Amino acid sequence: MILRLSNRACVLSGSARLKSTLSTYFDEMGKAGIILKSASAGIFENLALEDWIHDHVDLQNRSILLLWRNSPVVVIGRHQNPWQECNLPLMRRLGIPLARRRSGGGTVFHDFGNINMTFFTSKKKYDRHRNLKVVTSALKALRPDLDVTATDRFDILLNGHHKISGTAAKLGRTSAYHHCTLLCSVDRSILSSVLKSNTSEVIRSNATLSVPSPVKNLSDVDPTLDADTIMEAIASQFNNEFGFDSPVITVDPAHEALMPGIHKMTNDIQMWEWIYGKTPKFSVCTSLVVDDVNIKLDMDIKSGTVEKCVVEIPEDWLPPETVNEFTSALNGSKYCPNEAAVLVAAFMRTRSMSADVAGKIHRLCEGVLSVM
Amino acid sequence: MAAVITVRAPFAFMRRLVSLRLHKRCCSKVQSAYLVYRPHSYSLIAGQQQRFFRTSCVAARPVMPFKLSDIGEGIMEVTVKEWYVKEGDKVSQFDSICEVQSDKASVTITSRYDGIIRKLYYDVDSIALVGTALVDIETDAGQVEGPQEDVVETPAVSHEEHTHQEIKGLKTQATPAVRRLAMENTIKLSEVVGTGKDGRILKEDILNFIARQTGAILPPSPFQEICPPPPAPVAHSTPAAKPREKTTPPSVPTPVIPKPVFTGKDRTEPIKGFQKAMVRTMSAALKIPHFGYKDEVDLSQLVRLRSELKGLSESRGVKLSYMPFFIKAASLSLLHFPILNSSLDENCTNITYKAAHNIGLAMDTNQGLLVPNVKNVQMLSVFELAVELNRLQTLGSSGQLGTVDLTGGTFTLSNIGSIGGTYAKPVILPPEVAIGALGKIQVLPRFNHKDEVVKAHIMNVSWSADHRIIDGATMCRFSNMWRSYLENPATMVLDLK
């Protein structure tokens, strides 16, 4: 099971005994505290790893720290609205995916310059302040002059002003996890542009809103601080704080034999129905200008699907029957520009219309799609 | 009187008489029993029937308020964010009931009881106070164990753990409801394999155990009797058959295999999205009277040409497949047969001959069928076609195709052969009048002009056209011209514009 064992780290892979899972491996280790590091940079694999540990590992007498990093991705909280929180068209153009996690809280941008830490405990031992203390103490141990403090909103501030870490948590029946980010050397220009929604003003919803804060990278104040050094420091501080003596164990979240069921979990959180479909009910109310004509657009979206679509168009620009057919083509479709385009295209194919009307519908559709 | 006694199985009836426990399901039978035995008591009971059921014993399906337990960290209120159940739903213990949020923490609340949800106390987005009721659950009799309310100060979870996981002296883990089911069916928990978390024994495990024993699936009702095992195999037959069978060797007893239980269920979903678009388009296509025309194309020379040009194209940064050649050949042929690039109006009174050759490509994406088209193929070179195809493919696979790319097509080609197949019967996409489906390229033996058998790269093409305005001869001549361009790619050079 263990490929490489040094005094600080080892790698888990290729189970020789078929019945061994990660869970039984922990039982055999018999340690009260375990530090894990994910071998994957894929957000969905890592989120699935968190869920698997939360669901399958006995945390009543054990605490686990998981360290992980991802390639560029925007992660929204469980009850948030992605159209309100980030710039989806920009993300599509840049090829930055969107993920929804199971914990609450706000929206964050991850890339390799960001460290994620997840503290798994039983519900009794759930203590976010103590976990954040591990982080701040680790940073101070590395650089005693660093001014990092945790606030009562569970943020970590640098120099009392810039946010370098945000927190979210998930509580289940018997166990809980608390995870937080840590900005070491993230690309701040991408961060600020993707986390600024292009349509938030036109959305009315009760979804949890993120609280924007000025951010900074740890590398901005000390360029010698890099993610690997910081992760090592956090691992040792975790051992110190709780009196554990765990090495850092690398885990590959794609290993189905080690973690039965994790492939399905990874697939489930990539489905449109989870990422977009779990958005709480919201409505979009806006005015578009197409060909110098003012068009009022009103849509109700539930579970990411258009439940009601009303378009107010002056009758002389487009006949009402055509407009009605256009809106009924959109009714019941996912609030997604790709699907809406396909449905409108099918509508245009099966309705004979002059080139002039077709052109207007193209431009109208473009306007509607711009808010998706 | 004797008749009434035999209404219910003896054990259950005696139990009811002795302990006076009443269940809603059999209350009608109970009433008739009382009618015969103690008519005067019946009238007494009738008037107070409701109260009698509720106050005298807990077992009469009580409705328990399930209170929101302490989340920890001194939090007194949370926001209800999502309900996983609605009124009337059946829940089992540990099923998720709802999701609440407090201060960046998302909490999944799971059910304490088996039962049916009778009332939800909060709407989505309302604030729920810790310690107040979240839902009412109508439970089965005898399920109530421990305190009926959650204690606000200490996490109630620890109490649950005590009763369910750390019962002293017992190694098997099962909830009280499961234990009762096992007891009523006289099953030893140690004989049952648990499939739940940590080897916990679930209700399904007990039912499967019973099914295996009796060869039948039983509903989880506390009063169900176990059917006796099936009668001994027929091989050990009656004495009458014995004389005849004495000479035959003793037959092997027929094995009794428990009926495998298929638990799959039909699933009905509404048609929406890409499927809805396809339903709409294809239903309109039904109105077109299709005829089919198939042919075989020898692509040996084209295969050679493409392998020569591939390197050059890649040096320009574009992947070159066979499609640009197929599309360009189609466009060159359409110049000679413009009726195949036309459109018929709704009343079939006018044909519009389209000037532009906007040739559509059927594209298979992970969401379904998309048909974007390349505009004005008549003005594009083979290389430019390749560039445009790459652009459409990238947009298609990332879900970014817009309505302009998806509409305005005048003729379509479907390269189903890239996935598989030889012949097809493609469906014309309105408002077009023709479509071609290309099968896969196979290497087959063919005779050449010297009567020698040579290796040839053969592809089958299947055309469909609107027989209201296109006749077989036109389609045949178009196909022949298209074929000849591809079998002798050099001729395309002569006619390139």
B397 touches chain A (CB under 8 A): no
The structure's pTM equals 0.73
- Could you tell me what percent of chain B has a pLDDT over 70? 72
Which residues of B are part of the catalytic machinery?
467, 471
Res B197 pLDDT > 80: no
Segment among A8-17, B167-176, B398-407 with least mean pLDDT: A8-17
Res B245 pLDDT > 50: no
Confidence of residue A15 (pLDDT cuts 50, 70, 90): very low
* Segment 79-118 of chain A within 8 Å of chain B by CB: 79, 92, 95, 102-106
- Residue A209: predicted pLDDT: 86
- Residue A370: predicted pLDDT: 86
Preferred mutation among A173, A272, A354 to probe B, highest tally of B CBs within 10 A: A173
Looking at per-residue pLDDT, the higher value among B229 and B374 belongs to B374
Question: Rounded to whole angstroms, how far apart are CA atoms A191 and B194?
Answer: 48
Question: Rounded to whole angstroms, how far apart are CA atoms B340 and B464?
Answer: 11
Give the strand pairing for A167-171 and B105-110. parallel
Q: Is the dihedral of CA B121, B127, B132, B135 positive or negative?
A: positive
Across the interface, of B110, B278, B398, the residue whose CB is closest to A173 is: B110
Q: How far is A102 from chain B (nearest CA, A)?
A: 7
A1 touches chain B (CB under 8 A): no
pLDDT tens by residue, A182-205: 999 999 999 999 999 888 888 888
Across the interface, of B104, B278, B407, the residue whose CB is closest to A105 is: B104
A336 touches chain B (CB under 8 A): yes
Q: What are the tokens at A190?
A: 């991408």
A125 touches chain B (CB under 8 A): no
pLDDT average, residue stretch B440-464: 94
Q: What are the tokens at A370?
A: 């711009």
B280 touches chain A (CB under 8 A): yes
Segment among A85-94, A322-331, B200-209, B397-406 with least mean pLDDT: B200-209
Amino acid in position B81 = K
Across the interface, of A126, A153, A365, the residue whose CB is closest to B72 is: A126
Question: Rounded to whole angstroms, how far apart are CA atoms B234 and A51?
Answer: 54
Q: Which residues of A touch B399 (CB under 8 A)?
A: 92, 336-338
ipTM score = 0.79
Preferred mutation among B73, B106, B352 to probe A, highest tally of A CBs within 10 A: B106
Subunit contact B407:A369, Cβ cutoff 8 A: no
Confidence of residue A237 (pLDDT cuts 50, 70, 90): very high
B401 touches chain A (CB under 8 A): yes
- Residue B75: predicted pLDDT: 78
Three-state SS sequence of chain A:
CEEEECCCEEEECCCCCCCCCHHHHHHHHCCCEEEEEECCCCHHHHHHHHHHHHHHCCCCCCEEEEEECCCCEEEECCCCCHHHHCCHHHHHHHCCCEEECCCCCCCEEECCCEEEEEEEEECCCCCHHHHHHHHHHHHHHHCCCCCEEECCCCCEEECCCEEEECEEEEECCCEEEEEEEEECCCCHHHHHHHCCCCCHHHEEECCCCCCCCCECCHHHHCCCCCHHHHHHHHHHHHHHHHCCCCCEEEECCCCCCCCCCHHHHHHHCCCHHHHCCCCCCEEEEEEEEECCEEEEEEEEEECCEEEEEEEECCCCCCCHHHHHHHHHHHCCCECCHHHHHHHHHHHHHHCCCCHHHHHHHHHHHHHHHCCC
Q: Which residues of B touch A206 (CB under 8 A)?
A: 124-125
- Residue B58: predicted pLDDT: 45
Question: Rounded to whole angstroms, how far apart are CA atoms B211 and B218?
Answer: 7
Preferred mutation among A19, A131, A350 to probe B, highest tally of B CBs within 10 A: A350
Please, how many CA atoms are within 13 Å of residue B278, restricted to the half-sphere of its CB?
Answer: 14
Res B188 pLDDT > 80: no
B71 touches chain A (CB under 8 A): yes
- Residue B181: predicted pLDDT: 77
- Could you tell me what percent of chain A has a pLDDT over 70? 95
Confidence of residue B161 (pLDDT cuts 50, 70, 90): very low
A222: left (phi over 0), alpha (psi -120 to 50) or beta: beta
Provide the mean pLDDT of chain A. 88
